[in-house]
Amino acid sequence: MTIKHHLSDQLLMGYAAGNLPEAFSLVVATHVSLCDECRARLGAYEAVGGAVLETETAEMSEASLEACLARLGQPEAPQKPVPRRGFLPTPLADYVGGDLAQVRWKPLGMGVRQAILPTGKGASARLLYIPAGQSVPDHGHRGLELTLVLQGAFRDDKDRFGPGDVEIADESDEHTPIAEAGADCICLAATDAPLRFMALIPRLLQPIFRI
Amino acid sequence: MLFKAYGDGLLLDHRPSDPTANLPRISCMMMSQAITLHYSDAAPPQRAYVGPRQVAQGRRLAATNETDWAALMLAVRDRQDRAAFAALFRHFAPRVKAFLMKSGTEASLAEDCAQDVLATVWQKAHLFDPTRASVATWVFTIARNRRIDIARRDRRPEPEALDWGGEGQEPDQADIYEAAEEAARLTEALKILPDAQRALVARAFYGDLSHSEIAAETGLPLGTIKSRIRLALDRLRTKMS
C-alpha cells in the first residue's frame, strides 16, 4: 500500500494528547494501523507528552508510596497482539463488530450505501460504499471532514486518494469526488458537522446532487 | 555510550553517539541505582574499569541527578523489583499528579489516580519496550488514558498493536541508550522554548486545546525521534515478510 496523503500534525498531536472526538480518533487509529510513517510521527508526539510530563511536579502525601506498594499484585502475563483477521483494520473492526460482511449498510440511492458507526458526541463516523465510477454524494463541507480510503479510490479535480490515503477537508473545500472505475470504493468518513445526508433527504435532493 | 555494572564497579564504554552533541556523556548504573555523569570537554574514546570511588572523585565529572529510568523499569518488568518500582514511583507519581491537576483534576482525586497510574506501570510492565519509548513517554500514555477515563470523555480507539517479538530477546543496548538520549534532548528542547510556545505545547497535552486550536508547529526537534521509530518499523516489516 503506497500512502500519499497522511494525517496532519494537528490530528496526530491531538490524538497523542487524547483530545480528539472519538470519530476522529477512529480515523487516526485506523490510518496509523495502515501507515508506518504516521505511526512513527505519532510516536514522536507521544514523546512530547513524555517531555511535558517531566516538567511539573505536585507533592504526593507521605503514605502514598506505601499504599501503592501494598496494592501491587501479580503483574499481567505478556500477551501476543492479536493479528488482523479480516479486511478491516482492528480498531475499525471493533466498531463494526466484525469484518466487511458484518457492516449493516443502509442504501442512499444509486448504489451508494452508508453505515453510521456508534461514536461519542462532537463528531460522527460512517462507512461509505460508492460503486466504481459513481460520484460521492454530499460535499460542501461544514466543519472538518476526514475521509480514509479502505478499498478502491476516488478522485477530485486536484488529487487521487487510494487505499490508506486520508483526505482532510474543511469549509474552504468545495469539490465533487468521483469513485474511480475498477473496484468499488469503501471509505471511513468522520465529520464534526451535523450529518447531512440521511437516507430520505438525498432521495429528495437527487436532481440537485445528481446522485 | 554504553555501560554495564560489574560487581560494585563500572565498565565504561565511551563513544560519541551524536556528532552534533558536544557533550559526551558517561552513564553509570549500579544495580537499580543509577547516576549519569557529564563532562564538558571532548575526550578520546576510552574503555576503563572505574570503581565507585574513582567515579565520585573524577575531576572533570559533575554528577547530575539524571537517573537511568529504563534500567529501573526493566528491573520491574523482568524481576518484579519493588525497590526499583519505589524509585520510579518517587519520580513519576508527583509528575503524574501534576499532569492530572493541570488537566483540571482536583488534587485528592489526582493523587489517587497517580497511584492508579503507577500501579498500572507495575501491572502492565511487560508492555514497556525501552528501545521504542522512554519511561516518561510510556508513563505519559498511561496517564493520558487515565485522564480520559476521569473525564468520561470519548473513547480513544488504539491502533493495531504490532508484534515486536520482544519477549525473551535481549534488547539492543545502543537502541535503549538512543531512545533515552532522544527523550532527554526533547525535554531540554521543551525547557528552552519561548514561554508562550512552551505553554501552548503543554496545554495541548493537558487536554486544554481542541484539535483546531493545536498549533501545527511545536518548535521541537521531532525529526530524529520519528526517523528512529520509522527505522525500527521498517526492520520489523522486513522481518515479518
The alpha carbon of residue A58 is apart from the nearest alpha carbon of chain B, in Å, by: 5
> Which of B82, B122, B210 lies closest to A19 in CB terms?
B210
Cell 488529487 found at? A159
- Which has the higher per-residue pLDDT, A131 or B24? A131
What's the rounded mean pLDDT across residues A69-82?
A: 90
Coil, helix or strand for A169? strand
Residues 4-23 of B with CB under 8 A from A: none
Confidence band, pLDDT 50/70/90 cuts, at residue A185: very high
Cell of B13: 564504554
Confidence of residue A10 (pLDDT cuts 50, 70, 90): very high
Q: Which residue has the cell 497511584?
A: B115
Nearest residue, CB atoms, A58 vs list B101, B139, B182: B101
Over its C-alpha atoms, chain A yields an Rg (Å, rounded) of 21
Chain B, nearest residue to A12 by Cα: B211
Q: Say yes or no to pLDDT of A172 above 80.
A: no
Within 8 A of B226 by CB-CB distance, chain A residues are 40-41, 43-44
Kindly state the cell numbers that stand for A191. 465529520
Cβ–Cβ < 8 Å for B231, B178: no
B73 closest CA partner among B25, B30, B36, B127: B127
pLDDT exceeds 60 at position A200: no
Mean pLDDT, residues A67-91 = 91
Residue A133 has pLDDT above 90, yes or no: yes
Contact A18 B145 (CB under 8 A): yes
Calpha distance A22→B205 (Å, rounded): 17
End-to-end CA distance of chain B: 32
pLDDT per position as a tens digit, A41-57: 999 999 999 999 999 99
Instruction: Tell me the chain A residues in contact with residue B216 when contact means C-beta distances shorter than 8 Å.
Output: 8-10
* Residue indicated by cell numbers 513524555: A50
Contact check, Cβ <8 Å, B237/A10:
no
Test mutation, B103, B142, B205, chain A, max A CBs within 10 A: B205
pLDDT-derived band at A148 (thresholds 50, 70, 90) equals very high
State percent of chain A over pLDDT 90: 70
Q: Any idea of the CA torsion for A20, A24, A29, A30, to the nearest 10 degrees?
A: 180
Please state, in angstroms and rounded to a whole number, the distance separating the CA atoms of residues B199 and A107: 48
Tell me how far apart the terminal alpha carbons of chain A are, to the nearest angstrom: 30
Mutate one of B182, B193, B211, B222 to test the A interface: name it (highest A CB count within 10 A): B211
pLDDT value of position A43: 97
- Among the ranges given (A86-100, A181-195, B45-59), the one the predictor scored with the smallest mean pLDDT: B45-59
A135, A211 contact by CB (below 8 A): yes
| pLDDT score, position A82 | 83
Nearest residue on chain B to A61, alpha-carbon basis: B111
The DSSP code sequence of A46-88 is HHHHHHHHHH---PPPTTHHHHHHHH--PPPPP-PPPPP-SSS
Q: Is B128 on the interface with A (CB under 8 A)?
A: no
User: How much is the pLDDT for B168?
Assistant: 57
Residue B6 in grid coordinates:
560489574
Chain A residues in contact with B144 (beta carbon < 8 A): 16-18, 49
Which of B77, B124, B140 lies nearest to residue A53, judging by beta carbons?
B140
Partner-chain residue, chosen from B190, B222, B233, that has the shortest CB–CB distance to A55: B190
* ipTM entry: 0.89
CB contact under 8 A, A80 and B154: no
- Average the pLDDT over A107-115 and give the result: 90
3 state SS of A178: strand
Please name the member of B80, B98, B154 whose beta carbon is closest to the beta carbon of A21.
B154
Chain B residues with CB under 8 Å of A33 CB are 159-160
Q: Is the dihedral of CA A47, B144, B237, A189 positive or negative?
A: negative
CA distance B76 to chain A (A): 10
Of A108, A3, B137, the closest CA to residue A116 belongs to A108
Contact A189, A145 (CB under 8 A): yes
At B12 the pLDDT is: 39
Beta strands A112-117 and A124-130: pairing type? antiparallel
- Give the per-residue pLDDT at B194: 94
The pLDDT, as a whole number, for residue A26 is 97
> Would an 8 Å CB–CB cutoff place B41 in contact with chain A?
no
Asked if B27 contacts B69 with a C-beta cutoff of 8 angstroms, the reply is no
- Can you read off the three cell numbers belonging to residue A73? 499484585
pTM: 0.82
H or E stretch covering A166: strand A166-169
The whole-number pLDDT of residue B121 equals 98
**Residue in chain A lying closest to B188 (CA):** A51
Q: Does B114 touch chain A (CB under 8 A)?
A: yes
d(C-alpha A146, C-alpha A10), whole Å? 13
Q: Which mean pLDDT values do the consecutive 10-residue runs of chain B (241 residues) have?
A: 37 40 38 37 38 34 58 94 97 98 95 97 94 94 94 87 74 84 93 94 92 84 93 90 79
Cα→Cα distances B214→A50, A62, B218, B222, B225, Å:
17, 37, 9, 16, 20
* B163 contacts A50? CB cut-off 8 A: no
Q: Pick from A163, A115, A173: which is nearest to A142 by CA?
A: A173
CA B105 to the chain's CA centroid? 24
Of B211, B216, B218, the CB nearest to A48: B218
